[in-house]
Structure 1
C-alpha cells in the first residue's frame, strides 16, 4: 500500500459506531487518522506484510481473500463503508503478520490509525476497547458462517444463493472465475454448474454476464439447503 496518506481531519463523524465514543477518544482518533484514496485493483496488504495501522473504510469496498499453494482463491469477507478490517485488528492484537490479501474492488477512501495510537486507545478508552472487540466478534462469526457454508452446503445451493444476492436488474456481471473465487471453488466446476442451470432454463450465459431467467427456480434451489 504505497498511496500517499493525508491528515483526515474530523473523519470520525462518518463512522456511526465511533461517534458514540466519549470526547477524548473521538479527539484522539481524529488526530491519529490518515486518509488515503485507493484505485480499483490496488493491493492494500499481502501475506507476510507487517500490520502498521488499524484500517477502516470510509467509502468503497476491499475484498479480503486467501490463495492456496495451488493457486485456488477464496474470498473471506469484504470491508465496506464504515467498517474496519477484522484481519488487521487480529494482526494488531496478536502482533502477527498478514495471512491474506486485501484488494480494492471499487475506488476506496480509507482511514489508517497508527499502531501506537490504536494501542493507546485500547488501554485508555473502555468504550473504544469494547467497540473493537464487539466488531471483531461480529465479523469472526460472519467468517465462521461462511466457512460452514463452504464446508457443508452443496455448490449448486451456494451458487443459486450468490446469483440471487448479486442480481441487479435481472443479471449478474461476473466471470466464471469471479464466481469460483466467491464460492471457494474452481472455475471448471462452477462452469459445469452454470451450464446445468442454463440447460434447465434458469439462467442464460453471456460473456462476463449471467442473465437470470427464472428467479423462482433459483430460489427453490437456494432453499434446498
Structure 2
C-alpha cells in the first residue's frame, strides 16, 4: 500500500533508513475498531505497534478491578509498555484498548531488535521512551500528591458544558473507586458547581471547579 508507506514515513521519519523492509511491513496494516483490545497484562508481546490513525489507551488494573490510565498513544508516538516488554523479553505490564477506530502496523519482535542496530531508529525509540517515562513520573506525582477533589475537578474541565460520562468511567481515569467519585460529585452538586443526570454531568460553575483544580 503506497499510501500506508507514505503515512508511515511521514509519522515515523526515523524509519526512512530501513529501506525495503518497510514496504512489506506497510502491506500488513491492521484495522481495529474502537474498543479493540490490542493486548492485556501478562500477555507476551507480539510486536512493536506503530499507530497510523486513531488513539490507544494504555492502563493498568488492580486486583479489585480498578483501572488507572497510564497514557494514550496517538499517531507518531510509541508504546512504552511494548518497548519495555521487547527490551526485557518479559510479559506486558499493561492493557491497551483503542478509543477510536485505528489503523496500525505491528513490527515483529525479531525485526524490532534488528532495527535497534540502526542508530537513527534506536535514538528515536529511546527518545520517545524517555518522554513517556517523564509523563509517567508526572502521573505518579499526580496520583500520590494531588488530592482527589482537585484531580476530579480538573477531569471535569475542558470538555464543554456537558459531559457524557459515568461515575465508573471517571473513577477508572482517576485510578480510584466509583464510590469516592460519586461522593465528591454529590458534594460538587451541593455546592452548585455541577448538575448530575443519568450518565451525564452538566457544568454550572466552571470557574469554581477551576479554583478547586488549581488549589495549591
1:22-37 aligned at under 5 Å gives the runs 23-25=16-18, 27-33=20-26, 34-37=28-31
Deviations 1:84-109 (A, max 9, x none): 21100110111111122111211111
Q: Is 2:35 aligned against 1:44?
A: no
- Match of residue 162 from structure 1: 155
DSSP-derived class of the 1:84 partner: coil
Change (3 A) 1:175 1:22: closer
The TM-score, its normalising length taken from structure 1, stands at 0.88
The TM-score, its normalising length taken from structure 2, stands at 0.92
Q: Is 2:144 aligned against 1:151?
A: yes
CA drift at 1:25 = 2.2
Residue among 113, 116, 120 paired with 1:119? 113
Q: Is 2:8 aligned against 1:12?
A: yes
Residue among 132, 135, 140 paired with 1:139? 132
1:85-124 aligned at under 5 Å gives the runs 85-123=79-117
The separation in 2 between residues aligned to 1:22 and 1:111, in whole angstroms, is: 13
Between 1:152-161 and 1:199-208, the stretch displaced more is 199-208
Between 1:133-142 and 1:108-117, the stretch displaced more is 108-117
The separation in 1 between residues aligned to 2:10 and 2:202, in whole angstroms, is: 36
Change (3 A) 1:160 1:30: farther
CA drift at 1:11 = 3.7
DSSP-derived class of the 2:116 partner: helix
1:182-201 aligned at under 5 Å gives the runs 182-201=173-192
Structure 1: gaps of 5 or more residues: 1-6
CA drift at 1:28 = 3.3
The separation in 2 between residues aligned to 1:22 and 1:102, in whole angstroms, is: 23
CA drift at 1:23 = 4.0
Contact 2:31 2:104 in 1 (8 A): yes
CA RMSD of the aligned region, Å? 1.8
The separation in 1 between residues aligned to 2:20 and 2:183, in whole angstroms, is: 54
The separation in 1 between residues aligned to 2:36 and 2:180, in whole angstroms, is: 28
Structure 2: gaps of 5 or more residues: none
**Displacement over 6 Å in runs of 4+:** none
Residue among 52, 57, 69 paired with 1:58? 52
Contact 1:55 1:110 in 2 (8 A): yes
Q: How many residues align?
A: 213
